[in-house]
Amino acid sequence: MPNAQESATKPPARPPNNPVAKDMLLLKNSDQISGTLQSFQYPGVTVWQRSDIDQPIEFKSEAVDEILLGDRNKRLNIQPERVTIRLNNGDTITGNWKSLGPEHLTLNTTFAGELQIPRNRWQWASFRHSDASYLFEGPTGEEGWTVGEVNIGKLDGGQWAYRNGAFYALKAASIAKLIGMPDRMRMEFDIEWKGSLNLAVALYTDYLQPVSLADKDSEPDFGGFYSLQLTSYAVNVLMVKKKEPLQYLGMTQTPVFRQATKAHIDVRTNKANNSISLLVNGKLVKRWIDQGGFAGEGSGIRLVHQGQGALRFSNLKIREWDGRFESPPANRPQATLDLLTRRNGDKLVGSVVGSLEDRIQFKIGETITEISFDQIDKIEIGGLPSANRPVFDGEVDATLVGGGNLRFRVDTIDGNQIKASSEIYGPVNMQLPMFERLDFQRVAPAKTP
């Protein structure tokens, strides 16, 4: 069954919230305190400042569970980052490829400058190309989005709040925008949740206010749209038109949403064959066909959080789709050779030897071929298993603005500078404004010498 409401009846739109400028400190005893992070030292103290107190507050750093970082408006001059690297400890980082030698891959990053990654630690590389233009990338703020009010049963309504390239909702909330969805579309976004997942995404809508599915015929006029419903137990697509019965295109159970708290969502649509396809974490979950013809009459998106837990929505990207279902990069621990996939779909099996300027040196048999980055979709390294382990005392799982995550030990934070160390990168200085979250909650006992 769908949610009784994609959301509630339509009241007048409220002005959007301002971006969240404050940081949030979450302690292990579940206390939450807003303010500004001034400094952090481990072992040692965390210094926290609030505008309503004269002196900063000091906490034992061992008591800190998580730090959410607000918009600092001090972003660096960011150059387009063309490659995403996956490491065998689970880190995923984005930057610009500088060089590849016998020992290290050197990557230029916005958050830490130049990083040297041992060759035996990276599992795959995925390349982004400047000519693969996006029709929309965001969110970059709440400007241009329409906030609606949601009332579901006895749940209090709220609003989406913008922070560091993402929308957050703690209560039932709706936000919408006319984005410009093409006839053949690929739409990607990331979601992360606490509690139950219950998100309705309206596709091809021309109406920016939430629609009560139970009372849709009494709503103001709206054009047909599809409601993609993502829950902890299942996914479903509904065709919604005024004065017509709701059409259930098919529900599919999704264990991945019960077993995780975050996911990468990839939606593919094709008006010519009346299809909507859903991929979760790179795997095809369901392809729906509307036998009555494609019903979407608008070009907008509407996000309705049903208010059952907290939800984060980020990295929304929309572009034309070529109709192909490509496979995402993957680990190949059992393979003896590397796999290079060109943008045209051709696959080469051999060994990555090195790189020269903007080219990869790839050895096939006894022949070394130079392949331009512009021609490469992805590189998957053979014979490199994952080396996941628990987080040790003093380490943090950090989330980067715009996506990406990495693990390191925080020695100190002072202002916007992080002094850190990593088993992979070694000692490194990082830029705090490039992060949106520092998560200390999965801590195991410290290693013994």
Q: Choose the final residue of a domain: 279, 295, 320.
A: 320
User: Is 314 in the same domain as 279?
Assistant: yes
User: Is 217 in the same domain as 159?
Assistant: yes
Whether 14 maps to a domain, the answer reads: no
Q: Kindly report the backbone phi and psi dihedral angles of residue 359, in degrees, each rounded to the nearest multiple of 5, phi listed first.
A: -135, 145
Whether 17 maps to a domain, the answer reads: no
Whether 2 maps to a domain, the answer reads: no
CB-based contacts of 256, cutoff 8 Å, min separation 6: 263, 280, 281
Higher pLDDT, 118 or 73: 118
Cα Rg of the chain, angstroms? 23
At residue 46, the pLDDT reads 95
371: CATH = 2.30.30.100
At residue 398, the pLDDT reads 93
Spatial contact of 41 and 419, defined as CB atoms under 8 Å apart: no
Using one digit for the tens of pLDDT, what is the confidence trace for 239-258? 999 999 999 999 999 888 98
Torsion of CA 405, 406, 412, 417, to 10 degrees: -50
At residue 160, the pLDDT reads 93
Q: Choose the final residue of a domain: 269, 296, 320.
A: 320
Distance CA 323, CA 325 (A): 7
Please state the pTM of the whole predicted model.
0.74
User: Is 111 in the same domain as 155?
Assistant: no
User: Is 254 in the same domain as 282?
Assistant: yes
User: Is 179 in the same domain as 52?
Assistant: no
Using one digit for the tens of pLDDT, what is the confidence trace for 39-76? 999 989 999 999 898 899 999 999 999 998 887 755 54
User: How many domains is the chain built from?
Assistant: 3
User: Is 166 in the same domain as 287?
Assistant: yes
Q: How many residues does the chain have?
A: 449
Distance CA 43, CA 37 (A): 16
User: Is 257 in the same domain as 114?
Assistant: no
Confidence of residue 9 (pLDDT cuts 50, 70, 90): very low
Burial of 185 (0-12, 13-18, 19+ CB in 10 A): buried
Spatial contact of 152 and 7, defined as CB atoms under 8 Å apart: yes
Buried b (16+ CB within 10 A) or exposed e, 287-316: bbebeeebbbebbbbbbbbbbbbebbbbbb
- Residue among 315, 332, 346 nearest 124 (CA): 332
Domain of 211 in residue numbering reads as 136-320
User: Is 308 in the same domain as 165?
Assistant: yes
Q: Kindly report the backbone phi and psi dihedral angles of residue 373, in degrees, each rounded to the nearest multiple of 5, phi listed first.
A: -55, -35
Spatial contact of 68 and 396, defined as CB atoms under 8 Å apart: no
Lowest mean pLDDT of 166-170, 321-325, 357-361, name the range: 321-325
pLDDT > 70 in the chain, percent? 90
Lowest mean pLDDT of 70-79, 333-342, 412-421, name the range: 70-79
Whether 398 maps to a domain, the answer reads: yes
User: Per-residue pLDDT averaged across 156-165, rounded?
Assistant: 83
Whether 435 maps to a domain, the answer reads: yes
Confidence of residue 274 (pLDDT cuts 50, 70, 90): very high
Using one digit for the tens of pLDDT, what is the confidence trace for 88-103? 998 999 999 999 999 9
CB-based contacts of 335, cutoff 8 Å, min separation 6: 380, 382, 383
158: CATH = 2.60.120.560
User: Is 169 in the same domain as 308?
Assistant: yes
Whether 76 maps to a domain, the answer reads: no
User: Per-residue pLDDT averaged across 364-377, rounded?
Assistant: 95
Whether 130 maps to a domain, the answer reads: no
User: Is 299 in the same domain as 186?
Assistant: yes
User: Is 294 in the same domain as 192?
Assistant: yes
Mean predicted lDDT score pLDDT of the chain? 87
> Which residue has tokens 């279902």?
325
Q: Is the pLDDT of residue 155 over 80?
A: no
Whether 11 maps to a domain, the answer reads: no
User: Is 209 in the same domain as 299?
Assistant: yes
